[in-house]
Amino acid sequence: AQKVTQAQTEISVVEKEDVTLDCVYETRDTTYYLFWYKQPPSGELVFLIRRNSFDEQNEISGRYSWNFQKSTSSFNFTITASQVVDSAVYFCALNGQNFVFGPGTRLSVLP
């Protein structure tokens, strides 16, 4: 069975603060992919990153960074110097046998 858990339902931060969104996954597949998507109020899903299970190299892209720890089945996402435009729901997803989404974390960045 596959499962994605995002323990943080809602997070509020003040602009310019750093924020980390947690994601823990379960899968029996040896090969799988992990994703982060952003869903702004418009509803459209915005792809942020994909990481395969063999690549534990962490990545930084602008204000975004990701920490993939296979040993703890975690794939956390950090926004540095958050901005109001970062306010959205963020979904962690797992693609093994099926494509499974986590419950989402609603991030509110206050001015």
Partner 1 sequence: GAVVSQHPSRVICKSGTSVKIECRSLDFQATTMFWYRQFPKQSLMLMATSNEGSKATYEQGVEKDKFLINHASLTLSTLTVTSAHPEDSSFYICSARASWDSPRAFFGQGTRLTVV
Residues that bind partner 1 (CB under 8 A): 33, 37, 43-45, 47, 50, 52, 91, 95, 98-104, 106
Both tokens of 30, joined, read 């040896």
Nearer to partner 1, 15 or 22 (CB): 22
| Shortest separation between residue 16's beta carbon and partner 1, angstroms | 27
Both tokens of 75, joined, read 């794939």
| Shortest separation between residue 49's beta carbon and partner 1, angstroms | 11
Q: CB under 8 Å to 60, separation ≥6 — which residues?
A: none
Nearer to partner 1, 44 or 61 (CB): 44
Nearer to partner 1, 74 or 95 (CB): 95
| Shortest separation between residue 81's beta carbon and partner 1, angstroms | 26
The closest of 104, 100, 110 to 13, measured between CA atoms, is: 110
SS3 content of the chain, % helix, strand, coil (to 5): 5, 55, 40
| Shortest separation between residue 99's beta carbon and partner 1, angstroms | 6
Specify the length of the chain in residues: 111
Nearer to partner 1, 3 or 16 (CB): 3
d(CA 73, CA 104): 17
